[in-house]
Structure 1
Amino acid sequence: MRTPVTNPKPPSSNPLGWGLQRKLIVSMLLVGVVPLLLGLGMAFLRGSKEIQVVSGESFQALATEAARKLDLLVAEEVARTSRIAVHPEIIQQLERHRDLLQSGDKRVSPAAITQQRTSWAARDPVAVRAITENSTALLLRGFYAGSQSESDLLLPQVVRAATKKLFVTDVQGNLFAALTTSPGFAHADSPWWKGTYNKGVGQLFIEDLHFDEQAKTYVFSISLPIMDSLRYEVVGVLHRVIDAKEFFSPSTHPIRFGKTGHVMLIDSRGTVLSCPILPTGVRLSDLALIPKVTGREPGWVTADSDGHGGQGTAIIGFALLPETSRATNGSVENGAWHTFVWQSSDELFAPIRHLMLWMLILASVALCLLATLGYFAASRIVTPVRRLQEAARLIGRGELQEPINIHTGDELEELAVEFNRMHTQLEAAFAGLSTQVEEKTQEVQYLQKSTDQVLDAVPTPIIMIDQQGLIQYMNRASRDTLHAQAEDWSSRPLFDVLPIDDEHRQALRRDLRLVEAGMPVVPPPADRDQAPKEARDPLNQALSPAPPSLRRELRIGPHLYHYEWFPLEGRSGAGKRFGLVLRDTTDESRLQDQLIQAEKSGSLDVLTAGIGHELNNPLFGILGLGEAIQEEGDLARAKGYAQDIVGHGRKMAAIIRDFTGVAARESKSQRIPVDVTAQLEQALAIVQTSHECLGLNVQKHYVAVSPVTALPDQLRLAFINVLTNAIQAMNGQGDLWLTTEEQDDMVTIRIRDNGPGIPKQHLGKVFDPFYTTKGQGEGSGLGLTVAQRLIKKFGGEIRLESPEGQGTTCVMTLPADKSGVRKEEPCVSS
């Protein structure tokens, strides 16, 4: 049990007692040596800094100069090697070989090449002589060893000794000429050959340091393209393998300063190409040092290791070989060579360490004096302060069990009393705080994990971005849709990850700006329905996505997505965040197109049946009158027959004219103000023509209504589908009510029948595609689906009211067109 806190008595006002202020004054007088130590320390640090700066700048300058010389050395060797790459005889021989390959000559057929490769691998004398003793090989030998005729190609002795391989390949990467039998035959898959060939364009390629198994040493290579005589395309590749140590050591080893200072050459991986201490091919011992000394600009760094196995502060100068690095592996980013200038830290900091030794001796004397004179201050001041410090630490961890008891008779005692009082108050105030914090933390973690699981379970892609457009979160559906891994999308711009075209990207950005500004996302006004639609093959259904500027849709691969932006609450000071939801509407769009096409086909069947029914009677009359004219001798009576034939023909023309509006191609139609009553009448006439309606009683209640903006044939098709369902429900016998009215800028059309009605369990499904209550073969289940789509297309709504056993009422509402078209007089009939 915790011991209760007892407040000690306040200190007495003893005039002989020393207060804390006096104690501090005396202590500061006793420790007067501190400024001396501080001054000496500052001098030491400043001197060390100056030595580092001067040495670093010197090393940087030395590294830059060494890099320049090595760059020139490599450039001279590249220029010396390039002389043979432009030798006319070698070019002519490679061109002839290329022409044989292109002409399909059997001497260079795939079978012949395979045989040659096998013979070379077996070191067949004939195959070896064909490659090592041809005219190109002789030119290479003259370049390597020197001759009277090729004296300008003579290699220096050091370079000649460093060269391990020298050979030429043809345009297919096969060995064409070589000095020795050490090269392989096929090189088309080698990185150096691909980099030099460069798709037939050709470029210099310096292969990075690697170990050559045949030469048993670390080498690098210089590869040059051999261009044709027109300098148009590559006809071969010249490849030269050079021992890195023998090539660079004459240039790097003589550069020495002090006992240990030297220059070395490394690549961007930290692998040593040339060093007086480290063997070629090993990497720097400290991997963390490599990125510091392989920068693209010359410089110097202070490191905790020297790269040679030693630990401690080291100063290193470095510089890039720009021209050589640009040709290494094709770019500076993929491979680069750097000079590395270093001196042992023992040698470098020896002067400052001597100074530090004398400073330590002086400081030791001062510390001894300070320890002797400060003993009393430590016993009277430091000990109580340490107890207070330990008590404060225990209070912070909630582990203080006993009250602080300090009896010094000064301000430290009063401070201990305040510590005890503070501890009591904190213990009372935060008694249950740790439990609450733990519970809240667990609850937040649970909510975060639950949210992630819920979002991953949603099949709809959801993406969250910050105000800069960088992706912050993608659920599993969006990652699967975009085939994105965590390292691919995290903190990347959304518009770089989405595989969409510029038009869709602009539409997506525009909607994001509207959401960010708090404005409603509305498609821009466009004459969408005035432009003719491209005719499509009814037997080859395909999606016809609308332009992104008119519909909020995106196409990602073969799928069509409807997108929606929404704002998100961000953390305090973190800026706004936004969410993007993608809903796959591919099947929905394809199904809608198929429904329209299927209903059109059904409507064409109805149209064909109606035309046949209406044309049969006048056609039979024309045939009968024609036969009567052939046998009639009375001219007057024959003229009468002819007049009857003309009348029947005009009747047929009128029938055809009435039906052509249904079959007109939608691609030639435009939305215009349409008289609803007239279209309803035409639909009724078409349905009555194609169905048996002898017992049908039609009652019409029309009033003058405003036109609606629609396509006449499609609006008529919607009426035909509803009327057909009503007549079929009554089997062609019964009462049919047609009503039009206008209220609140909406035109309402009601079509009611007195059939058996629709059962309640079926009423909610009648608009579903292919759903029908008729028997098999009696209906397609598409009529009301297409009617609903067409009415909604023109901005309207359609619904069914069907008390079971009391008939069915179809109510269609369309927005009225108030553009100034005058209403017709109401027509009421029965």
Structure 2
Amino acid sequence: MDAERPAPPAATTMARPFGRSGDPGEIDSHVLRLIEHMPAAVLLFEADQSVLYSNRAAKILAQVLSPDEGASPRTRLQDWHPRLVPPSALELCRARGMWSGEVALDSPYRAARVLLVKIHALGDYGGGPYGLSLRDITLEHDRELELNLRNSELEVALSRLSSAQEAVLKTEKLASIGQLAAGVAHEINNPIAYVKSNLNTLQHDIFQLLSEIRSRLRGQPMGEGYGIDIDEVATEIQELIAESCEGVDRVVKIVRDLKDFSHLDRIDNWVLADLHAGLESTLNIVWNELKYKAHIVKTFGDLPLIECLPSELNQVFMNMLMNAVQALENYGVITVTTERYGDKVRVSIGDDGKGIPEDVLPRIFDPFYTTKIVGEGTGLGLAISYGIVAKHHGTIEVTSVPGQGTLFLIELPIEQPRERGMES
């Protein structure tokens, strides 16, 4: 049996330990016994791959890899498995002094095994004999494959979750716009109504003016009491046109703000934007909801352009403003304040309404949590706002005193971390 063959001197000569000195032969005997009882398979072989020594773990592994061989002597590496040592392994070991790699070995009796194989050149200049250690890492390899599979599944699930989250954001935004549609229609209807009235008056005045001009050109002045004051009519026409232009501008602004607010940004469409423009646009959209219940106090600081998703922040501002106006039981005050704080900007939106009870405060950002009656709220507004601010690497905090009011403080970085970055 190969286990009874003595190890050659070159392979068994050991360096003196740092401990007490002892007989080299006795030390070699102890080392050999240690190797024999190691859990890793160890083989010693020559350059021609003839085996000089194999420990107990190696013999057990041989039975597992090649059960047909039985207990017959295994004098060459191929007796363990034909592909145990890759063809290039010995050549690299001679050049570098060692080689290490994973080897997958199939078997007709069971699933493939994966071994971690290490070969060390024990002779001078990378020559033989060679020491080989084997460790079965099949379970570790299977776990790694399983982990990679689970990671892939998680990435797919995360992608689906992100898509669902984006869809919920769009749905909530569209729901918010739908909720405000009546108010926006009213805001548009007012200027359109007086533009229409002005056009009717303008039509009458122009008809009179043209009739007077036509009569005078024909040398037939209108009778007394029927003539018109051309200067007075011209002044009235100018005023009517100016008012109509103002009304049309109002409609254009509302439509533009609504378009900007409802624009569904792509997830990676990060741009430099003016927060004040976003706040003004949002205030204009929700104005019909605010003007009858609140006095708006704006205190805008000097802010730089910030890197953000503008329409998503507009959604946050709208949620904050709508929450504020809904908290007012009577006519009250809503404050909108901005300031720069180092490399961040702060937006504070507060009200002097009924406030939030202390036991409710920790839950206001939970999805689907709402204190409103059924049909009035989805419970997603603040949760989505929290997610949008978090996506901007910002924070949102709330302080409230029941009976005195509530203040939301939103803090956003001026520049996003570079790994997020802006698109070129």
Give the Cα–Cα distance (whole angstroms) in 1 for the partners of residues 285 and 73 of structure 2: 95
Q: Secondary structure at the match of 1:492?
A: helix
Matches within 5 A, 1:83-162: none
Q: CA–CA distance in 1 between the matches of 2:318 and 2:330? A: 14
Alignment-derived partner of residue 678 in structure 1: 277
Whichever of the two has the greater Rg, that structure is 1
Q: Does 1:788 align with 2:386?
A: yes
Question: Quick check: 2:345–2:414 contact (8 Å CA) kept in 1?
Answer: yes
- 8 Å CA contact 1:734–1:755 kept in 2: the answer is yes
Structure 1: runs of 5+ lacking an equivalent:
1-288, 294-300, 304-331, 336-467, 469-486, 501-552, 562-583, 820-830
- Asked whether the equivalents of residues 345 and 412 of structure 2 are also in contact (C-alpha less than 8 Å), the reply is yes
AA in 1 matched with 2:385? A
- Structure 2 partner of 1:581: none
Question: Is residue 2:139 matched to residue 1:490?
Answer: yes
CA distance in 2, matches of 1:678, 1:290: 79
2:187 corresponding residue in structure 1:
614
* Residue 634 (structure 1) aligns with: 208
Task: Look up the match of 2:361.
Answer: 763
Normalising by structure 2, report the TM-score.
0.54
Among candidates 313, 316, 322, match of residue 724 of structure 1: 322
Shift of 1:686: 2.1
Partner Cα distance (1:779, 1:666) in 2: 24
- Considering Cα pairs closer than 8 Å and 6+ residues apart, tell me whether 1 or 2 has the greater RCO: 2
Question: What residue number does 1:555 align with?
Answer: 152
Q: What SS is found at the alignment partner of 1:751?
A: strand
Please name the residue that 1:601 is paired with: 174
Give yes or no for contact 2:184–2:286 (8 Å, CA) kept in 1: no
In structure 2, relative to structure 1, the CA distance for the partners of 1:594 and 1:672 (3 Å cut) is: closer
* Structure 2 residue aligned with 1:661: 260
Does 2:333 match 1:735?
Answer: yes
Question: Per the alignment, in what secondary structure is the counterpart of residue 287 of structure 2?
Answer: helix
SS at match of 2:339: strand
Q: 1:732 to 1:723 in 2, by over 3 A?
A: farther
Q: String of CA shifts for 1:526-583, please: whole Å, max 9, x gaps.
A: xxxxxxxxxxxxxxxxxxxxxxxxxxx9432xx547xxxxxxxxxxxxxxxxxxxxxx
Structure 1 position 599, deviation (Å): 1.7
Q: Take 2:402 and 2:393, find their aligned partners in 1: how far apart are those partners?
A: 29
What's 1:652 paired with? 251
The aligned amino acid for 1:815 is: P
The answer to whether the 8 Å contact 1:748/1:813 transfers is yes
Aligned-partner residue type, residue 754 of structure 1: D
Distance 1:669 1:661, change over 3 A: farther
Whether the 8 Å contact between 1:661 and 1:713 is mirrored in structure 2 is yes
| C-alpha deviation, 1:769, in angstroms | 1.1
Q: Which amino acid aligns with 1:743?
A: Y
- Structure 2 distance, partners of 1:621, 1:607, is 22
Distance in 1 (CA, whole Å) between partners of 2:159 and 2:191 is 49
Answer whether contact 2:180 2:286 (CA < 8 A) is retained.
Answer: no
TM-score relative to the length of structure 1: 0.29
* 2:68 is the alignment partner of 1:291: yes
Residue 171 of structure 2 aligns with an amino acid whose one-letter code is A
Partner of 1:349: none
1:711 is displaced (CA, Å) by 1.5
Q: Over residues 247-297 of structure 1, what are the superposed CA-to-partner deviations in whole Å (9 max), with x where a residue is unaligned?
A: xxxxxxxxxxxxxxxxxxxxxxxxxxxxxxxxxxxxxxxxxx98228xxxx
Q: Which runs of 5+ in 2 are unaligned?
A: 1-65, 75-105, 110-115, 117-135, 211-232, 418-424
Residue in 2 that maps onto 1:700: 298
Inter-partner Cα distance in structure 1 for 2:372 and 2:138: 53
What is the distance in 2 between the residues matched to 1:492 and 1:750?
54
Partner of 2:197: 624
CA separation of 1:737 and 1:488: change in aligned 2, threshold 3 A: same
Secondary structure at 2:185 match in 1: helix
Q: What letter corresponds to residue 194 of structure 2 in structure 1? A: G
Check conservation: 2:174, 2:262, Cα contact below 8 A: no
What is the CA–CA distance in structure 1 between the aligned matches of 2:178 and 2:67, rounded to whole Å? 81
Distance 2:138 2:267 in 1: 46
Change (3 A) 1:647 1:749: closer
Instruction: Tell me the SS of whatever aligns to 2:295.
Output: strand
Q: Structure 1 659/714 Cα, relative in aligned 2: closer, same or farther at 3 Å? A: same
Matches within 5 A, 1:340-419: none
Instruction: After superposition, give the CA deviation of every residue in 1:393-421 in whole Å (9 maximum; x if it has no partner).
Output: xxxxxxxxxxxxxxxxxxxxxxxxxxxxx
Please state how far the C-alpha of 1:712 moved relative to its aligned partner.
1.5
Provide the residue aligned with 2:229 in structure 1. none
Residues 307-349 of structure 1 deviation map (CA, whole Å, 9 limit, x = unaligned): xxxxxxxxxxxxxxxxxxxxxxxxx9879xxxxxxxxxxxxxx
CA contact (8 A) 1:702 1:740 kept: yes
Aligned length: 270
Cα pair distance change 1:496/1:554, threshold 3 Å:
closer
> Which residue identity lines up with residue 597 of structure 1 in the other structure?
K
